[in-house]
């Protein structure tokens, strides 16, 4: 059975979700994402990434969607949160350290991604991103309790770690649920958390054409590294607006990349060490 506190919160979220769907049914765009299986990190290139590669990575991850047909429309635009993001951790796993790992990763994102205001929340009423930590044994049950029956719930239940996102208006993210298996081992958990939580913030598509990205089912990258930091940071650049089309965003990416270049070396070291987050 689910822990009483988690069951209560899930019920509140489900009721809140039904109410919001009645208010904004015509505006919501659904996105669901499966997780890749964990693999060891790839060796990063010695030099920084070429602008052409970064722009290509942005286009392949920010535009397009996996999952049910209902997610296709959202994939035509830049999707991002435009308000500060509060992350609530709902832990129903058997691994006590996992909530602390989520908190540390959220701090890492807050420290390294310019313009992304993200922090841990303790109040469900104030949260936008809900991270459900579960075991293999209760993964499907938590999804069933959190979401109404439908294509999206069935799709999520068929994956090991998943994310579902809702839009308030075109391109403006309103809410996201992230479901992460906590009892698959430390490396698999870290990989799954990094992929799902960062994709919940906007770059939601996977592509097998990105050799240095976590958002690739076919390579050996298993951590959130510099390439994906560039992608997420470009999404939250001040010139990249929610709802932009590919052509609109493409014209603004060179300046966004130029603003990130001076920070890249320090960020690369921090991502590699994961130290000094508290």
**Is 258 in a helix, a strand, or coil?**
helix
Nearest-CA neighbor of 256 among 114, 118, 117?
114
Contact 224, 198 (CB under 8 A): yes
pTM value > 0.85: no
Contact 217, 185 (CB under 8 A): no
**Is 101 in a helix, a strand, or coil?**
helix
Q: Which domains does the chain have, with CATH numbers?
A: 4-273 (3.40.390.10)
The string of DSSP codes covering 142-179 is HHHHHS-SSHHHHHHHTSSSEEEEEEEETTEEEEEEEE
CA dihedral 212, 215, 221, 225 (to 10 degrees): 70
Using CA atoms, how far apart are residues 4 and 177, in angstroms rounded to an integer? 19
Using CA atoms, how far apart are residues 249 and 267, in angstroms rounded to an integer? 24
| Tens digit of pLDDT at every position of the chain (278 positions) | 445 445 555 555 544 444 443 333 323 344 444 444 434 444 444 458 999 999 999 999 999 766 554 455 667 899 999 999 999 999 989 999 999 999 999 999 999 999 999 999 999 999 999 999 999 888 888 888 888 665 455 545 556 688 989 999 999 999 999 999 999 899 989 999 999 999 999 999 988 899 989 998 776 777 899 999 999 999 999 999 999 999 999 999 999 999 999 999 999 999 988 744 44
């Amino acid at each position: 059975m689910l822990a009483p506190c988690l069951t209560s919160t899930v019920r509140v979220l489900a009721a809140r979700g039904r109410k919001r769907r009645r208010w904004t049914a015509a505006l919501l765009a659904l996105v669901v994402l499966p997780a890749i299986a964990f693999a060891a990190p790839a060796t990063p290139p010695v030099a920084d990434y070429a602008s052409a590669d970064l722009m290509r990575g942005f286009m392949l991850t920010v535009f397009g969607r996996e999952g049910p047909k209902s997610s296709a429309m959202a994939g035509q635009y830049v999707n991002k949160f435009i308000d500060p993001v509060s992350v609530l951790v709902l832990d129903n796993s058997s691994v006590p350290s996992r909530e602390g790992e989520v908190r540390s990763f959220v701090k890492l994102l807050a420290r390294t991604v310019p313009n992304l205001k993200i922090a841990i929340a303790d109040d469900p009423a104030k949260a936008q991103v809900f991270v459900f930590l579960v075991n293999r044994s209760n993964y499907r049950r938590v999804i069933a309790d959190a979401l109404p029956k439908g294509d999206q719930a069935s799709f999520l239940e068929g994956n090991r770690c998943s994310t579902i996102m809702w839009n308030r208006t075109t391109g403006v993210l309103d809410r996201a649920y992230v479901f992460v298996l906590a009892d698959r081992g430390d490396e698999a958990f870290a990989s799954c958390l990094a992929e799902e939580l960062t994709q919940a913030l906007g770059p939601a598509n996977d592509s097998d054409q990105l050799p240095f990205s976590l958002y690739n089912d076919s390579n050996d990258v298993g951590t959130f590294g510099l390439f994906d930091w560039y992608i997420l940071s470009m999404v939250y650049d001040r010139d990249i607006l929610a709802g932009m089309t590919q052509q609109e965003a493409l014209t603004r990416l060179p300046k966004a990349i130029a603003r990130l270049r001076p920070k890249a070396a320090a960020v690369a070291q921090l991502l590699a060490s994961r130290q000094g987050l508290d």
